[in-house]
Structure 1
Amino acid sequence: MSIETWLAFFVACWVISLSPGAGAIASMSSGLNYGFARGYWTALGLQIGLLLQITVVAAGVGALLATSALAFNLIKWFGVVYLLYLAWRQLRAQPVSMEQDVSVRPLGQPLALVFRGFLVNVSNPKALVFMLAVLPQFLDLSHPLLSQYVLMAITMVTVDAVVMAGYTGLASKVLRLLRSPKQQKTMNRVFAGLFAGAAGLLTLVRRAAA
């Protein structure tokens, strides 16, 4: 892969990562609920899911989703149900007393947050089919493909990790501004609505369109 091709891919990664989606919503939700240090575990889970998607595309298995309606729909509807579950959890989240030290807010278990982020990414077939369509365009077929996929995986994960850190950190700062239970309940409803909205958008995804 030439430096010019890599730079084009690097820019594309920023555009893709900065585009609001279920991953960004999940990162902000964790930052809001647990603060940056704890909430960033969700972003790490997102990166594991992203790595798995890239591996699937590199192995050629991603083509299955582009040709099999059953495989595509199974993953899609699992993603819809999981996003709705996250909306329900966010809606039921209890306000945190800001009169006390922020360390008293509920702590999410790191592995649970990692798994949450992982599921958000791997349950989005649109992202997988998108990568199946985009990644090969940056490949130089005259050179070994494995090393190019590894470079693209490192680039994409690094960029996405930085972007999700920004989303998580931004939401964690918002937490300090939410002093009253009413404000926190309103914010929880907003994020619940965002998760539900992401689920609704996912129901509109069609294999043919992808």
Structure 2
Amino acid sequence: MELHVWFAYVVTAIVFSLAPGSGTVNSISNGISYGTRRSLGAIVGLQIGLAFHIVLVGAGIGALVAQSAMAFTVIKWVGAGYLVWLGIQKWRDTNSLSTHNSDEHLSGWLLMRNAVFINLTNPKSIVFLVALFPQFIDPSKPQLVQFLILGATTVVIDAIVMLGYTTLASQMGRFIRSDRVMGKINKVFGSMFVGCGALLAMAKS
């Protein structure tokens, strides 16, 4: 994988991880309820769930490439369109992050288990990865190494972002839960998703 392709993926993966979702809600809730140190297990759990999705998506796309180059091209275009659609939906989203104080006696192991389940039961992450990965995979080159690079990059970036959300939430919980602030955040990330989708579409034209 060429360096400029990987760098472009890093930027896109950062946007993906920063955009509010179920993992973000979990990280913020844990940060408010337990603080950063006790929430580390939950961050690990989120990455376990994400890694499982990455393996599923990588295996599926690899099989697709082996069977049909045309189908691979189609899914790349569908993926670019999905990024634009997701950006429009995020722009229109006015919901705030709903957080609550959990049981104070939950252990780190239970926090991790709950976080794994949260990501495993979030189909949106699979759909997003299916849309995202083909944009950066060269079907003419070995697939496994490319998937490993993208997968590891995704997990590392998401772990760093969730740690940041957890730390921020432990200090600024009330501010993050503000409807007004979340509305602005949604619009910012919505614009980023639309921009990513448009750039990917133009790059293939």
Q: Unpaired runs of 5+ in structure 1?
A: 67-86, 95-105, 176-186, 195-210
Q: Which amino acid aligns with 1:23?
A: G
| Identity percentage of aligned residues | 39
Which structure would you say has the larger Rg? 1
Asked if the contact 1:17–1:160 (Cα under 8 Å) also holds between the matched residues in 2, the reply is yes
Distance 1:147 1:126, change over 3 A: same
Contact 1:31 1:40 in 2 (8 A): no
Task: Report the equivalent of 2:30.
Answer: 30
> Which consecutive aligned stretches of 4+ in structure 1 deviate over 3 angstroms post-superposition?
none
TM-score, normalising length: structure 2: 0.63
Aligned pair in 2 of structure 1 residues 61, 110: CA closer, same or farther (>3 Å)?
farther
Q: Which amino acid aligns with 2:165?
A: Y
Change (3 A) 1:141 1:62: closer
Give the alignment's Cα RMSD to 1 decimal. 2.7
CA distance in 2, matches of 1:37, 1:3: 34
Of 128, 131, 137, which aligns to 1:130? 128
Q: 1:19 to 1:143 in 2, by over 3 A?
A: same
Match of 1:44 in 2: 44
> Residues of 2 paired with 1:39 and 1:53: CA distance?
22
Counterpart of 2:59 in structure 1 is 59
Per the alignment, in what secondary structure is the counterpart of residue 20 of structure 1? coil
Whole-Å Cα distance in 2 between the matches of residues 28 and 61 of structure 1? 32
Q: Which whole-Å CA distance do the structure 2 matches of 1:153 and 1:61 have between them?
A: 13
Per the TM alignment, residue 108 of structure 1 is displaced from its structure 2 partner at its CA by: 2.8
How many angstroms does 1:146 deviate by?
Answer: 0.8
**1:166 pairs with 2:164:** yes
Listed as ranges, the gaps of 5+ residues in structure 2 are 64-74, 76-97, 183-205
- Which residue identity lines up with residue 22 of structure 1 in the other structure? S
Number of residues of Structure 1 aligned to a counterpart in Structure 2: 144
Cα distance 1:7–1:54, how it changes in 2: closer, same or farther (>3 A)? same
TM-score, with normalisation over the residues of structure 1? 0.62
